[in-house]
Amino acid sequence: MTEVTVANAHPRKRVAGAALVRLLRSVLAGEKTRNVRLSLVLIDRHRCRRINERFLGHRFETDVLSFPLESAPRLEGEVYVNLDRAATQARHYEVTFGNEVARLAVHGTLHLLGYDDRRAADSRRMKAAEERYVALAKRAGKTP
């Protein structure tokens, strides 16, 4: 059973949670992953920095954080998307805010599924998957 939830914990910005649920369900299906419980939490830059420092020891904000909680028999994890950073990056990359949020949500989900972006070849593979899922969702009207 696949369970995807979205919690908007940002004090001001709002994103269509239902569209993100549909998007992430399509990523999980595309990666042939079943029996998943995924929580997507939309946060601000301050909360992102606190989480990054507390759990990873990094004293900076980032755009997305992924935390696997369980791997067997059910994959369970949390993805935190920094909506403030998404807004800045959307302007920089000249894409919509919704498109950038979708890209970050997909990126974090792919990390939970075992994708890595530390080496150049792995990063290219992950980026290609990310772009493919965001493009498919955009065509299907499943982006926020």
Of the candidates 79, 101, 82, the one whose C-alpha atom is nearest the C-alpha of residue 90 is: 101
Whole-number pLDDT of residue 140: 73
What pTM does this model have? 0.94
Whole-number pLDDT of residue 142: 63
User: Which residues are CB-contacts of 119 (< 8 A; sequence separation ≥ 6)?
Assistant: none
If pLDDT is split at 50, 70 and 90, which confidence band does 144 have? confident
- The structural domains of the chain, ordered by start, are 2-140 (3.40.390.30)
d(CA 117, CA 110): 10
pLDDT (tens digit per residue) in 43-85: 999 999 999 999 999 999 999 999 999 877 789 999 999 999 9
Are 101 and 21 in contact by the 8 Å Cβ rule? The answer is: no
The pair of three-digit structure tokens given for residue 69, joined into one six-digit string: 């909680």
pLDDT (tens digit per residue) in 87-143: 999 999 999 999 999 999 999 999 999 999 999 999 999 999 999 999 988 877 767
